[in-house]
Structure 1
Amino acid sequence: MTVNVRPLAALGMILLFAADAFSNDSSRPADAVVEPAVEQEVRLLSVPSPLQMVRTLHLMQDQIATGSTEAHIGQRGLLGVLDTRFMELEPEVWQNGKNIHAAVSFVLSGGNPGLLRKLLELGSSVVTENDRPLVEGALAYVEGREEAAYNALMSLDPRTFPPTMSAQLALVQSALVVRKDPAKSDDLLDFVRLQAPGSLLEEAALRRQVFVASQTGHVEKFQSLATGYLRRFRHSVYAGNFRQRLASASTRIDFGQDKSRFDGFVIMMKELEPEARRDLYLLTARASVEQGFTKSARLLSEEAQKLVEGDLVSASRAKLYRAASMITSPENIKAAAEDLRQIDRSLLPASDVALLDSAMAMAEHIQTMPGTPGVLAEKAKPLLTKAAAEKALDTSNQTQGLEQLQALSKARDALSRVDRLIKNQASVTQ
């Protein structure tokens, strides 16, 4: 369900300026006498609490997960207003533990960390010993002091906090342990998703968990989580970044190892628009060629061919990757070599022209070498990977002739350029 963010922003402004209505209340007689203590108490009651204000912020931020650009823009202004309001609140307001948690939540939601520094400076009358690890750890985390954040926060049990605070704490803890203990990070992200369904916190947890699964080699979970993200948060403001990182992660997977793995990838890809699906198929097919995942490259390029729809550049790229993946097959090498010769190189990017030259040189070399074609093709298969080409190059003057050395050198140089291109694309997504 999409919620219009304008009423949320208006609600936030109403809450934030409720105190001003009390101080400027024209209905009170000018000469009315109000005891200072009573006036102070009424004033505190009329001002929305930090907890209420942070809830308003979270309502707005949750709309970011549904794709509201208004909410994304509006939160900047609301964060600024909240920062000013919080810094102006009297110290006694912060003596309520719920408000301390609201301050931590505010800072973890993008608020000014100066608020937490101020609370710590107010001493134990505001930040109790029980709350100090949470406040100090959150401050260290947003300031980039990872070790201090780890030492302060990892001893805390998220289950002992209210839902939103527990989800935020678990999300931070997952980031702190992901390099040391990916399995624990994954469990914490599961907890976040259960605690804050439909929120920006769930969106962030799911987005991160997809890549934890990818990095730890849990391909089936990677595909399941990615499919879930694309189904539920495809319009999120952060979905574009997710798709770029998804492409980078997908290039490291050999989809030809297992039919169910490839089928799962195809199901996941159906959540994307046809053009985005085609581009991701092409990217992963090229990466598979570069890494020597020949079956994966063939399957992915064939899926891309179904989506080219008259796009000559994409059609040429898909044909190149498919043919390059098949020159190692003795049954298909002649047809693959012919496909390579038919490709219009003027339609290809420079990196693909280099790959075309390399593939054609390999195909020609395999076909002209003396010996059994099947055996030669199988030996040439690892040469599609840069690492194997370099290894073969190191031993070539002992086991190969000058002609094979030249072919391998071309392969290494071409694949190095492809490798750099893929790495450059991956770095853009970070």
Structure 2
Amino acid sequence: MARARHRYSIALALALGTLVSGAGRAEDQGDLPPYKMLRSLQFVQDSVVLGDNSAGEMQRFMLSTLDERLRNADKSVFDDGRNVDAVMIYAMSGGNPDTLEYLMSRDVDGHFDNRVADLLRKYLSGKGLLVVNSLADVAKEYRDKKIGPYLSLVAGNVMMGKNPKAALQLFDWARLTAPGTIVEEAALRRSVTLTAQAGMIPEALGYSQRYVRRFLHSPYAGQFADQFVQLVVDHSADVKQQDIIDILSFMDPPRQREVYLRIARRSAVAGKMDLAKLASTRAQDIGSDGSDSFNALASFYGGIANISSPDIGVAVRDINQIPEGELNPRDRALRDAAKAVADAVMREPDAKSLAQGSQINISNEDNAEHGGAAASQTEGNQPQIAASVGQGAADAAPTQKGDGQEATSPFNTFVTTSRSKLDAIDGLLKQESH
């Protein structure tokens, strides 16, 4: 930690141009070579993704300072190829794209590789797809140069939608040639997204574990958490529960609890009840930080998952135990939908409905004898939170015809009312899943 602070102090001093040269005088900031200023910028950016939150403001200062230095630099500065590379890396590191354009317009001595500069200008202006193959070729050509990792990252970004496997190779090269840097952090994050979208689940889990072990404290770790939650829920059939536990074990307890709660919620909405139970249980097992709100929320999601189980009474209790004021609007909608289903399941049928059910069985048996479609029978009393349940109930309704009119009955009224409720619940959950 002390060494890191010392290195950070040196970077700040270099950025401000206050280092003393061998001749014993302060090096003037205006004479500081751009490539040295770039090293300071890189150090600050790497500090940010490694968890130094205080470096964020310094990053903005360094980008502004380097931008001014490049615009005011004499043309002879770019006789040194390291300064040319500094311009390219600056442009790919969040710098002002207009500065690259400005320097290119003044390059009468041919210091810049026009191919690279033109490709970067198109990429930075949002036209990277037009030059995706050329970017990949240039990235391979420059892969052993200082700008190589950055070009590989840029080319991979553009290649993701066209050729995922090629993009993954570019990301791999970027992170392996720039370990511990903002380039590796970005490459790992994008690799998780790419492999998950391509259905490459073992690879996605491998990249996820690398990210958690190396960049847990990055300010972009929240984006990774979103990607990981989506990965395990959308591909729950291919993701082992132990894989989830192993990957999240590298997180500190507060972060573990947060991710488990997010998995529990998304799983409950998606109907992945086994996963929702696992996540809610794991969240409850993690030591509390002194607040009962996390355990209550974990019980809430666990209750949602248990709505379709024989322990529906316990589930309703868990759902009701968390105060409404502690739920956000989305969770209140989820609670209302689950309670509506639970109420429908636990409500005792009246005698008329039971009588109509007997008539349906007789009618369906008669239809089957004459080649008609028999109504499907559902064993047990488990709710299905989807419009398909409503459709199934409607399909099972009797259609005794007389004088060209469909017979009306208390059962038909029950079916119509139940279906409208289920449609409303389904609509709530569809909104929640997006």
TM-score w.r.t. length of structure 2: 0.76
Q: Given the alignment of the two structures, is residue 108 of structure 1 paired with residue 92 of structure 2, yes or no?
A: yes
Q: Whose radius of gyration is greater, 1 or 2?
A: 2
Equivalent-residue separation in structure 2 for 1:90 and 1:245 (angstroms): 46
Equivalent-residue separation in structure 2 for 1:317 and 1:23 (angstroms): 59
Q: Which shows bigger deviation, 299-308 or 166-175?
A: 299-308
Amino acid of the residue matched to residue 58 of structure 2?
G
Alpha-carbon offset, residue 72 of structure 1: 1.9
- Residue 336 of structure 1: aligned partner: 312
Residues 1:89 and 1:266: Cα distance change in structure 2 (over 3 Å): same
Q: Which shows bigger deviation, 153-162 or 64-73?
A: 153-162
Alpha-carbon offset, residue 366 of structure 1: 11
Amino acid of the residue matched to residue 84 of structure 1?
E
- Residue 366 of structure 2: aligned partner: none
Equivalent-residue separation in structure 1 for 2:136 and 2:421 (angstroms): 52
Structure 2 gaps, min length 5: 359-376, 398-411
Q: Given the alignment of the two structures, is residue 209 of structure 1 paired with residue 196 of structure 2, yes or no?
A: no
Equivalent-residue separation in structure 2 for 1:367 and 1:178 (angstroms): 55
- Match of residue 257, structure 2, among 271, 278, 297: 278
Alpha-carbon offset, residue 263 of structure 1: 0.6
Residues 1:164 and 1:307: Cα distance change in structure 2 (over 3 Å): same
> Which protein has greater RCO, CA pairs closer than 8 Å, 6+ apart?
1
Alpha-carbon offset, residue 63 of structure 1: 1.3
Structure 1 gaps, min length 5: 26-45, 424-430
- Match of residue 347, structure 1, among 323, 328, 344: 323
Residue 236 of structure 1: SS of its match in structure 2? coil
Residues 1:69 and 1:198: Cα distance change in structure 2 (over 3 Å): same
CA contact under 8 A between 1:358 and 1:407: conserved in structure 2?
Answer: no
RMSD of Structure 2 on Structure 1 (CA)? 3.7
Pairs aligned (count): 387
Residue 376 of structure 1: SS of its match in structure 2? coil
CA contact under 8 A between 1:134 and 1:152: conserved in structure 2?
Answer: no
Equivalent-residue separation in structure 2 for 1:16 and 1:83 (angstroms): 20
- Match of residue 265, structure 1, among 240, 244, 262: 244
- Residue 62 of structure 1: aligned partner: 46
Amino acid of the residue matched to residue 316 of structure 2?
L
- Match of residue 70, structure 2, among 67, 86, 89: 86
- Residue 171 of structure 1: aligned partner: 153
- Match of residue 305, structure 2, among 325, 330, 342: 325
Equivalent-residue separation in structure 2 for 1:353 and 1:52 (angstroms): 57
Alpha-carbon offset, residue 377 of structure 1: 5.5
Amino acid of the residue matched to residue 225 of structure 1?
Y
Equivalent-residue separation in structure 1 for 2:211 and 2:335 (angstroms): 35
Equivalent-residue separation in structure 2 for 1:196 and 1:145 (angstroms): 26
Q: Given the alignment of the two structures, is residue 121 of structure 1 paired with residue 105 of structure 2, yes or no?
A: yes
Equivalent-residue separation in structure 2 for 1:346 and 1:322 (angstroms): 12
- Residue 181 of structure 1: aligned partner: 163
CA contact under 8 A between 2:225 and 2:259: conserved in structure 1?
Answer: no
Equivalent-residue separation in structure 2 for 1:271 and 1:90 (angstroms): 50
- Match of residue 123, structure 2, among 106, 120, 141: 141
Alpha-carbon offset, residue 341 of structure 1: 4.7
Alpha-carbon offset, residue 73 of structure 1: 1.2
Q: Given the alignment of the two structures, is residue 7 of structure 1 paired with residue 4 of structure 2, yes or no?
A: no
- Residue 225 of structure 2: aligned partner: 243
Alpha-carbon offset, residue 231 of structure 1: 1.9
Equivalent-residue separation in structure 1 for 2:212 and 2:349 (angstroms): 45
Relative to total residues, which structure has the larger helix share, 1 or 2?
A: 1
